[in-house]
Amino acid sequence: MIYFDYASTTPVRKQIIDTYIKVLSSYYGNSDSMHEVGRTANKLMEQSREQIAQLLKVDKDEVIFTSCASEANNLAIKGYAWKYQHRGKHIITSRVEHSSVLKSVEQLKDVFGFDVTYLPVNEDGVISLDDLKQALRPDTILVSLMMVNNETGACNPIEECANYIKANSRAVIHVDAVQGMGKLPLTCALYDMVSFSAHKIYGLKGSAVLYKKKNIELVSLISGGQQEMGLRGGTSNAPQNIVLAKTLRLMLEEQELSFAYVSSLNQILRNAFASMDGWYVNSPKQASPYILNVSCAYIGSEILLNALNTRGFAVSAKSTCSSKSKVQSHVLKEMGLEEFRTTNAIRISLSSMTTKQEVYALIEALKEIYHEYRTK
Ligand code: PLP
Residue-wise pLDDT for 228-280, tens only, equals 999 999 999 999 999 999 999 999 999 999 999 999 999 999 999 999 999 99
Percent of the chain residues past pLDDT 70, beyond the cut: 97
Report the separation in Å between the CA atom of 200 and the middle of ligand 1, taken as the mean of its atom positions.
8
Q: Which atom of ligand 1 is nearest to the CA of 208?
A: 15
pLDDT tens figures, 83-122: 999 999 999 999 999 999 999 999 999 999 999 999 999 9
321 in active site: yes
Distances from the Cα of 209 to the Cα of 113, 139, 206, 221, 250, angstroms: 28, 28, 10, 15, 16
Q: Which residues contact 174 (CB under 8 A, 6 or more apart)?
A: 73, 76, 77, 80, 142, 143, 144, 145, 191, 192, 193, 194, 195
Mean pLDDT of 314-333: 72
Whether pLDDT at 375 is above 70: no
Report the separation in Å between the CA atom of 319 and the middle of ligand 1, taken as the mean of its atom positions.
9
Q: Given ligand 1 and candidates 197, 200, 320, 321, which is best to mutate, with the most ligand atoms within 8 Å of its CB?
A: 197
The answer to whether 294 and 281 are in contact (CB under 8 A) is yes
Report the separation in Å between the CA atom of 63 and the middle of ligand 1, taken as the mean of its atom positions.
18
pLDDT tens figures, 346-355: 999 999 999 9
CA nearest ligand 1 atom 13, residue: 69
Asked if residue 178 has its Cβ within 6 Å of ligand 1, the reply is yes
**One of 68, 155, 296, 321 is an active-site residue; which one?**
321
Please tell me the pTM assigned to this model: 0.96
